[in-house]
Structure 1
Protein backbone atom coordinates (compact mmCIF):
# COMPACT_ATOMS: atom_id res chain seq x y z
CA UNK A 1 0.00 0.00 0.00
CA UNK A 2 2.86 2.39 0.82
CA UNK A 3 4.30 1.71 -2.62
CA UNK A 4 1.02 2.87 -4.17
CA UNK A 5 0.68 5.88 -1.87
CA UNK A 6 4.18 7.36 -2.24
CA UNK A 7 3.79 8.35 -5.92
CA UNK A 8 0.47 10.04 -5.13
CA UNK A 9 2.06 11.95 -2.23
CA UNK A 10 4.95 13.10 -4.43
CA UNK A 11 2.57 14.15 -7.23
CA UNK A 12 0.33 16.07 -4.84
CA UNK A 13 3.26 17.80 -3.15
CA UNK A 14 4.87 18.80 -6.45
CA UNK A 15 1.65 20.15 -7.92
CA UNK A 16 0.45 21.82 -4.72
CA UNK A 17 3.64 23.65 -3.71
CA UNK A 18 4.39 25.14 -7.13
CA UNK A 19 2.90 28.44 -8.32
CA UNK A 20 -0.54 28.28 -9.83
CA UNK A 21 -3.78 30.25 -9.70
CA UNK A 22 -4.87 28.97 -6.26
CA UNK A 23 -1.47 29.59 -4.65
CA UNK A 24 -0.96 33.03 -6.17
CA UNK A 25 -4.47 34.08 -5.19
CA UNK A 26 -4.19 32.80 -1.60
CA UNK A 27 -0.81 34.53 -1.23
CA UNK A 28 -2.35 37.78 -2.46
CA UNK A 29 -5.27 37.27 -0.07
CA UNK A 30 -2.86 36.70 2.83
CA UNK A 31 -1.04 39.91 1.96
CA UNK A 32 -4.16 42.01 1.50
CA UNK A 33 -6.53 40.54 4.11
CA UNK A 34 -4.49 38.53 6.62
CA UNK A 35 -5.00 34.98 7.84
CA UNK A 36 -8.44 35.13 9.46
CA UNK A 37 -10.15 36.91 6.54
CA UNK A 38 -8.47 34.48 4.11
CA UNK A 39 -9.65 31.35 5.96
CA UNK A 40 -12.88 30.92 3.94
CA UNK A 41 -10.80 31.13 0.74
CA UNK A 42 -8.30 28.61 2.11
CA UNK A 43 -11.02 26.17 3.23
CA UNK A 44 -12.81 26.54 -0.09
CA UNK A 45 -9.67 25.37 -1.89
CA UNK A 46 -9.00 22.55 0.60
CA UNK A 47 -12.54 21.17 0.35
CA UNK A 48 -13.57 22.24 -3.14
CA UNK A 49 -10.63 20.76 -5.00
CA UNK A 50 -10.83 17.25 -3.47
CA UNK A 51 -14.60 17.31 -4.06
CA UNK A 52 -13.93 18.11 -7.72
CA UNK A 53 -11.52 15.16 -7.98
CA UNK A 54 -14.16 12.79 -6.63
CA UNK A 55 -16.83 14.24 -8.92
CA UNK A 56 -14.61 13.87 -11.99
CA UNK A 57 -13.68 10.34 -10.95
CA UNK A 58 -17.34 9.41 -10.54
CA UNK A 59 -18.53 10.51 -13.93
CA UNK A 60 -18.00 14.08 -14.96
CA UNK A 61 -15.02 12.95 -16.99
CA UNK A 62 -17.36 10.71 -19.01
CA UNK A 63 -19.80 13.61 -19.42
CA UNK A 64 -17.04 15.82 -20.79
CA UNK A 65 -15.92 13.05 -23.14
CA UNK A 66 -19.47 12.86 -24.46
CA UNK A 67 -19.90 16.65 -24.64
CA UNK A 68 -16.42 18.15 -25.25
CA UNK A 69 -17.96 21.57 -25.92
CA UNK A 70 -19.06 21.75 -22.27
CA UNK A 71 -15.46 21.25 -21.15
CA UNK A 72 -14.25 23.90 -23.61
CA UNK A 73 -16.83 26.38 -22.34
CA UNK A 74 -15.74 25.81 -18.72
CA UNK A 75 -12.08 26.08 -19.73
CA UNK A 76 -12.54 29.43 -21.52
CA UNK A 77 -14.69 30.85 -18.73
CA UNK A 78 -11.92 29.86 -16.33
CA UNK A 79 -9.24 31.48 -18.46
CA UNK A 80 -11.24 34.71 -18.77
CA UNK A 81 -11.92 34.78 -15.03
CA UNK A 82 -8.27 34.17 -14.16
CA UNK A 83 -7.19 36.99 -16.47
CA UNK A 84 -9.72 39.26 -14.77
CA UNK A 85 -8.35 38.27 -11.34
CA UNK A 86 -4.80 38.89 -12.60
CA UNK A 87 -5.86 42.41 -13.56
CA UNK A 88 -7.51 42.98 -10.15
CA UNK A 89 -4.37 41.85 -8.34
CA UNK A 90 -2.08 43.94 -10.56
CA UNK A 91 -4.28 47.02 -10.10
CA UNK A 92 -4.26 46.81 -6.28
CA UNK A 93 -2.45 49.86 -4.93
CA UNK A 94 -2.68 49.38 -1.16
CA UNK A 95 -2.88 46.51 1.27
CA UNK A 96 -6.51 45.55 1.80
CA UNK A 97 -7.85 47.23 -1.33
CA UNK A 98 -8.01 44.17 -3.59
CA UNK A 99 -11.39 43.04 -4.89
CA UNK A 100 -13.34 45.84 -3.21
CA UNK A 101 -11.90 44.93 0.21
CA UNK A 102 -13.56 41.52 0.14
CA UNK A 103 -11.57 38.29 0.06
CA UNK A 104 -12.96 35.20 -1.65
CA UNK A 105 -15.76 33.53 0.24
CA UNK A 106 -15.80 29.78 0.88
CA UNK A 107 -18.32 29.18 -1.94
CA UNK A 108 -16.43 31.40 -4.38
CA UNK A 109 -13.25 29.41 -3.71
CA UNK A 110 -15.12 26.10 -4.13
CA UNK A 111 -16.69 27.30 -7.38
CA UNK A 112 -13.34 28.61 -8.61
CA UNK A 113 -11.92 25.08 -8.61
CA UNK A 114 -14.26 24.22 -11.48
CA UNK A 115 -12.88 27.00 -13.71
CA UNK A 116 -9.22 26.66 -12.73
CA UNK A 117 -7.38 25.24 -15.75
CA UNK A 118 -4.36 24.07 -13.71
CA UNK A 119 -6.76 22.34 -11.32
CA UNK A 120 -8.37 20.43 -14.17
CA UNK A 121 -5.00 19.35 -15.53
CA UNK A 122 -3.89 18.17 -12.08
CA UNK A 123 -7.17 16.34 -11.36
CA UNK A 124 -7.36 14.53 -14.69
CA UNK A 125 -3.65 13.71 -14.52
CA UNK A 126 -3.95 12.30 -11.01
CA UNK A 127 -7.02 10.23 -11.89
CA UNK A 128 -5.38 8.89 -15.04
CA UNK A 129 -2.13 8.05 -13.29
CA UNK A 130 -3.32 6.73 -9.94
CA UNK A 131 -6.51 4.81 -10.66
CA UNK A 132 -6.81 1.37 -12.18
CA UNK A 133 -9.36 -0.03 -14.66
CA UNK A 134 -10.28 -2.87 -12.30
CA UNK A 135 -10.24 -0.77 -9.11
CA UNK A 136 -13.12 0.85 -7.26
CA UNK A 137 -13.18 4.42 -8.60
CA UNK A 138 -14.77 5.90 -5.47
CA UNK A 139 -12.04 4.41 -3.25
CA UNK A 140 -9.19 5.36 -5.58
CA UNK A 141 -10.49 8.89 -6.26
CA UNK A 142 -11.16 9.25 -2.52
CA UNK A 143 -7.55 8.30 -1.75
CA UNK A 144 -6.30 10.95 -4.18
CA UNK A 145 -8.71 13.55 -2.75
CA UNK A 146 -7.65 12.76 0.82
CA UNK A 147 -4.00 13.12 -0.17
CA UNK A 148 -4.77 16.56 -1.60
CA UNK A 149 -6.33 17.52 1.75
CA UNK A 150 -3.45 16.16 3.86
CA UNK A 151 -0.53 17.26 1.65
CA UNK A 152 -2.05 20.02 -0.49
CA UNK A 153 -3.56 21.87 2.48
CA UNK A 154 -0.21 22.53 4.20
CA UNK A 155 1.28 23.60 0.86
CA UNK A 156 -1.47 26.19 0.50
CA UNK A 157 -0.78 27.38 4.06
CA UNK A 158 2.83 28.06 3.01
CA UNK A 159 1.61 30.40 0.27
CA UNK A 160 -0.92 32.07 2.59
CA UNK A 161 1.74 32.69 5.24
CA UNK A 162 4.19 33.91 2.63
CA UNK A 163 1.63 36.54 1.66
CA UNK A 164 1.06 37.50 5.32
CA UNK A 165 4.83 37.75 5.87
CA UNK A 166 5.21 40.05 2.90
CA UNK A 167 2.89 42.60 4.50
CA UNK A 168 5.78 44.00 6.58
CA UNK A 169 8.10 44.15 3.58
CA UNK A 170 5.57 45.83 1.35
CA UNK A 171 4.58 48.80 3.50
CA UNK A 172 6.17 51.07 0.92
CA UNK A 173 3.44 51.67 -1.71
CA UNK A 174 6.01 51.43 -4.55
CA UNK A 175 7.14 47.98 -3.40
CA UNK A 176 3.54 46.86 -2.99
CA UNK A 177 2.68 48.09 -6.47
CA UNK A 178 5.64 46.23 -7.99
CA UNK A 179 4.70 43.08 -6.06
CA UNK A 180 1.03 43.18 -7.09
CA UNK A 181 1.88 43.85 -10.73
CA UNK A 182 4.34 40.94 -10.63
CA UNK A 183 1.74 38.63 -9.06
CA UNK A 184 -0.85 39.72 -11.60
CA UNK A 185 1.57 39.03 -14.45
CA UNK A 186 2.51 35.63 -13.00
CA UNK A 187 -1.15 34.69 -12.68
CA UNK A 188 -1.78 35.83 -16.26
CA UNK A 189 1.29 33.89 -17.43
CA UNK A 190 0.03 30.75 -15.72
CA UNK A 191 -3.16 31.10 -17.76
CA UNK A 192 -1.49 31.94 -21.07
CA UNK A 193 0.46 28.68 -20.98
CA UNK A 194 -2.88 26.82 -20.85
CA UNK A 195 -4.23 28.41 -24.04
CA UNK A 196 -3.71 26.19 -27.06
Structure 2
Protein backbone atom coordinates (compact mmCIF):
# COMPACT_ATOMS: atom_id res chain seq x y z
CA UNK A 1 0.00 0.00 0.00
CA UNK A 2 1.53 3.32 -1.10
CA UNK A 3 1.73 6.30 1.29
CA UNK A 4 -0.85 8.11 -0.86
CA UNK A 5 -3.35 5.26 -0.60
CA UNK A 6 -2.65 4.93 3.13
CA UNK A 7 -3.29 8.63 3.75
CA UNK A 8 -6.47 8.44 1.67
CA UNK A 9 -7.59 5.44 3.72
CA UNK A 10 -6.95 7.26 7.01
CA UNK A 11 -8.94 10.27 5.77
CA UNK A 12 -11.81 8.05 4.61
CA UNK A 13 -11.80 6.12 7.90
CA UNK A 14 -11.87 9.36 9.89
CA UNK A 15 -14.64 11.05 7.91
CA UNK A 16 -16.84 7.97 7.69
CA UNK A 17 -16.32 7.11 11.37
CA UNK A 18 -16.83 10.63 12.71
CA UNK A 19 -19.95 11.60 10.77
CA UNK A 20 -23.42 10.88 12.18
CA UNK A 21 -24.78 7.42 11.57
CA UNK A 22 -26.55 4.70 13.53
CA UNK A 23 -23.50 3.79 15.65
CA UNK A 24 -22.65 7.35 16.63
CA UNK A 25 -26.24 8.36 17.33
CA UNK A 26 -26.75 5.31 19.54
CA UNK A 27 -23.49 6.03 21.38
CA UNK A 28 -24.54 9.61 21.98
CA UNK A 29 -27.85 8.37 23.41
CA UNK A 30 -26.00 5.75 25.47
CA UNK A 31 -23.59 8.34 26.88
CA UNK A 32 -26.51 10.59 27.85
CA UNK A 33 -28.60 7.80 29.36
CA UNK A 34 -25.96 5.52 30.93
CA UNK A 35 -22.73 7.51 31.18
CA UNK A 36 -19.30 6.92 29.68
CA UNK A 37 -18.07 3.98 31.77
CA UNK A 38 -21.16 1.84 31.19
CA UNK A 39 -20.96 2.57 27.43
CA UNK A 40 -17.36 1.31 27.01
CA UNK A 41 -18.38 -2.24 25.97
CA UNK A 42 -20.71 -0.69 23.36
CA UNK A 43 -17.84 1.47 22.06
CA UNK A 44 -15.39 -1.44 21.92
CA UNK A 45 -17.96 -3.67 20.23
CA UNK A 46 -18.38 -1.12 17.44
CA UNK A 47 -14.66 -0.63 16.82
CA UNK A 48 -13.64 -4.27 16.95
CA UNK A 49 -16.85 -5.62 15.42
CA UNK A 50 -16.51 -3.33 12.43
CA UNK A 51 -12.86 -4.28 11.94
CA UNK A 52 -13.84 -7.96 11.92
CA UNK A 53 -16.58 -7.15 9.44
CA UNK A 54 -14.02 -5.54 7.11
CA UNK A 55 -11.84 -8.66 7.26
CA UNK A 56 -14.74 -11.03 6.55
CA UNK A 57 -16.10 -8.86 3.75
CA UNK A 58 -12.63 -8.52 2.27
CA UNK A 59 -11.85 -12.24 2.25
CA UNK A 60 -14.94 -13.08 0.26
CA UNK A 61 -18.24 -12.49 2.00
CA UNK A 62 -19.02 -9.82 -0.58
CA UNK A 63 -19.14 -12.63 -3.16
CA UNK A 64 -22.30 -13.93 -1.47
CA UNK A 65 -24.09 -10.73 -2.54
CA UNK A 66 -22.81 -11.16 -6.08
CA UNK A 67 -23.85 -14.81 -6.28
CA UNK A 68 -27.19 -14.36 -4.46
CA UNK A 69 -28.54 -10.81 -4.97
CA UNK A 70 -31.64 -11.60 -2.89
CA UNK A 71 -29.41 -11.68 0.23
CA UNK A 72 -28.82 -7.95 -0.22
CA UNK A 73 -32.58 -7.31 -0.20
CA UNK A 74 -33.04 -9.52 2.88
CA UNK A 75 -30.22 -7.69 4.68
CA UNK A 76 -31.78 -4.35 3.79
CA UNK A 77 -35.19 -5.36 5.21
CA UNK A 78 -33.68 -6.81 8.39
CA UNK A 79 -31.56 -3.67 8.85
CA UNK A 80 -34.57 -1.35 8.50
CA UNK A 81 -36.66 -3.39 10.94
CA UNK A 82 -33.87 -3.67 13.51
CA UNK A 83 -32.99 0.02 13.34
CA UNK A 84 -36.70 0.80 13.79
CA UNK A 85 -36.71 -1.38 16.91
CA UNK A 86 -33.56 0.35 18.26
CA UNK A 87 -35.07 3.78 17.56
CA UNK A 88 -38.12 2.77 19.61
CA UNK A 89 -35.87 1.55 22.47
CA UNK A 90 -33.98 4.86 22.46
CA UNK A 91 -37.17 6.94 22.29
CA UNK A 92 -38.72 5.11 25.24
CA UNK A 93 -35.57 4.83 27.39
CA UNK A 94 -36.24 5.51 31.05
CA UNK A 95 -34.81 8.62 32.76
CA UNK A 96 -31.20 8.29 33.94
CA UNK A 97 -31.97 7.67 37.61
CA UNK A 98 -34.21 4.74 36.73
CA UNK A 99 -31.71 3.41 34.19
CA UNK A 100 -28.97 3.20 36.81
CA UNK A 101 -30.66 0.21 38.35
CA UNK A 102 -32.77 -1.18 35.55
CA UNK A 103 -31.62 -0.42 32.00
CA UNK A 104 -28.33 -1.14 30.36
CA UNK A 105 -26.51 -0.04 27.23
CA UNK A 106 -25.59 -2.42 24.43
CA UNK A 107 -23.08 -5.10 25.35
CA UNK A 108 -19.84 -5.71 23.46
CA UNK A 109 -21.36 -8.67 21.58
CA UNK A 110 -24.57 -6.80 20.73
CA UNK A 111 -22.64 -3.80 19.37
CA UNK A 112 -20.31 -6.06 17.35
CA UNK A 113 -23.26 -8.01 15.93
CA UNK A 114 -25.11 -4.77 15.14
CA UNK A 115 -22.49 -3.93 12.49
CA UNK A 116 -23.97 -6.66 10.29
CA UNK A 117 -27.35 -4.91 10.09
CA UNK A 118 -25.98 -1.36 10.03
CA UNK A 119 -26.38 0.03 6.49
CA UNK A 120 -23.68 2.65 7.01
CA UNK A 121 -21.22 -0.01 8.21
CA UNK A 122 -21.88 -2.08 5.06
CA UNK A 123 -21.34 0.96 2.84
CA UNK A 124 -18.12 1.83 4.67
CA UNK A 125 -16.77 -1.75 4.57
CA UNK A 126 -17.56 -2.30 0.89
CA UNK A 127 -16.06 1.06 -0.08
CA UNK A 128 -12.94 0.55 2.04
CA UNK A 129 -12.28 -2.88 0.53
CA UNK A 130 -13.02 -1.95 -3.08
CA UNK A 131 -11.16 1.38 -3.09
CA UNK A 132 -8.28 0.88 -0.64
CA UNK A 133 -7.70 -2.86 -1.08
CA UNK A 134 -8.55 -3.50 -4.74
CA UNK A 135 -6.29 -6.59 -4.96
CA UNK A 136 -8.01 -7.92 -1.80
CA UNK A 137 -4.79 -9.44 -0.52
CA UNK A 138 -4.94 -10.55 3.10
CA UNK A 139 -2.24 -8.05 4.04
CA UNK A 140 -4.10 -5.10 2.46
CA UNK A 141 -7.39 -6.18 4.07
CA UNK A 142 -5.65 -6.41 7.46
CA UNK A 143 -4.21 -2.90 7.03
CA UNK A 144 -7.68 -1.53 6.22
CA UNK A 145 -9.15 -3.26 9.30
CA UNK A 146 -6.39 -2.02 11.62
CA UNK A 147 -6.62 1.56 10.30
CA UNK A 148 -10.36 1.58 10.92
CA UNK A 149 -9.95 0.18 14.45
CA UNK A 150 -7.34 2.83 15.31
CA UNK A 151 -9.26 5.74 13.77
CA UNK A 152 -12.71 4.57 14.85
CA UNK A 153 -12.15 4.27 18.61
CA UNK A 154 -11.41 7.98 19.22
CA UNK A 155 -14.46 8.84 17.12
CA UNK A 156 -16.84 6.61 19.07
CA UNK A 157 -15.29 7.90 22.29
CA UNK A 158 -16.01 11.48 21.26
CA UNK A 159 -19.67 10.73 20.47
CA UNK A 160 -20.11 8.96 23.82
CA UNK A 161 -18.48 11.83 25.73
CA UNK A 162 -20.70 14.29 23.86
CA UNK A 163 -23.74 12.35 25.01
CA UNK A 164 -22.40 12.15 28.56
CA UNK A 165 -21.84 15.91 28.65
CA UNK A 166 -25.34 16.51 27.33
CA UNK A 167 -26.63 14.52 30.32
CA UNK A 168 -25.87 17.57 32.48
CA UNK A 169 -28.52 19.44 30.54
CA UNK A 170 -30.84 16.45 30.44
CA UNK A 171 -31.50 16.21 34.19
CA UNK A 172 -35.13 17.12 33.62
CA UNK A 173 -37.17 14.05 32.52
CA UNK A 174 -38.94 16.11 29.83
CA UNK A 175 -35.64 17.24 28.31
CA UNK A 176 -34.27 13.70 28.38
CA UNK A 177 -37.44 12.41 26.74
CA UNK A 178 -37.14 15.09 24.03
CA UNK A 179 -33.47 14.21 23.52
CA UNK A 180 -34.22 10.49 23.26
CA UNK A 181 -37.02 11.08 20.76
CA UNK A 182 -34.74 13.36 18.73
CA UNK A 183 -32.01 10.69 18.67
CA UNK A 184 -34.57 8.07 17.68
CA UNK A 185 -35.87 10.22 14.81
CA UNK A 186 -32.33 10.97 13.64
CA UNK A 187 -31.59 7.25 13.71
CA UNK A 188 -34.64 6.62 11.52
CA UNK A 189 -33.60 9.51 9.25
CA UNK A 190 -30.21 7.81 8.77
CA UNK A 191 -32.15 5.11 6.89
CA UNK A 192 -33.18 7.56 4.16
CA UNK A 193 -30.34 6.63 1.75
CA UNK A 194 -31.09 2.93 2.29
CA UNK A 195 -34.82 3.16 1.67
CA UNK A 196 -34.63 5.76 -1.14
CA UNK A 197 -31.19 5.38 -2.77
CA UNK A 198 -30.12 8.07 -5.22
Normalised-by-shorter TM-score class: over 0.9
Residue 93 of structure 1: how far off its partner (Å): 4.5
Residue 155 of structure 1: how far off its partner (Å): 0.6
Q: Which residue of 1 aligns with 2:119?
A: 117
Mapped contact 1:83–1:191 kept (Cα < 8 A): no
Q: Which residue of 2 aligns with 1:48?
A: 49
Correspondence list, 1:58-137, <5 A: 58-95=59-96, 97=99, 101-133=103-135, 137=137
Q: Which residue of 2 aligns with 1:185?
A: 185
Give the RMSD, CA atoms, in angstroms: 1.5
Deviating runs (4+, > 4 A) in structure 1?
none
Q: Which residue of 1 aligns with 2:27?
A: 26
Mapped contact 2:43–2:156 kept (Cα < 8 A): yes
Correspondence list, 1:120-159, <5 A: 120-133=122-135, 137-159=137-159
Mapped contact 1:75–1:116 kept (Cα < 8 A): no
Query: Equivalent residue of 1:170, what SS?
Result: helix
- CA deviations 1:76-102 (Å, max 9, x no partner) are 11111001111111222412549x602
Structure 2 unaligned regions, length at least 5 = none
- CA deviations 1:42-98 (Å, max 9, x no partner) are 111111001000100001001221112122212211111001111111222412549
Report the Cα distance in structure 2 between the residues aligned to 1:158 and 1:28, rounded to whole angstroms: 12
Residue 141 of structure 1: how far off its partner (Å): 1.3
Structure 1 unaligned regions, length at least 5 = none
Mapped contact 2:76–2:194 kept (Cα < 8 A): no
Residue 2 of structure 1: how far off its partner (Å): 2.1
Query: Equivalent residue of 1:178, what SS?
Result: helix
Report the Cα distance in structure 1 between the residues aligned to 2:35 and 2:173, rounded to whole angstroms: 17
- Give the paired residue count: 193
Query: Equivalent residue of 2:168, what SS?
Result: helix
Report the Cα distance in structure 2 between the residues aligned to 1:19 and 1:132, rounded to whole angstroms: 27
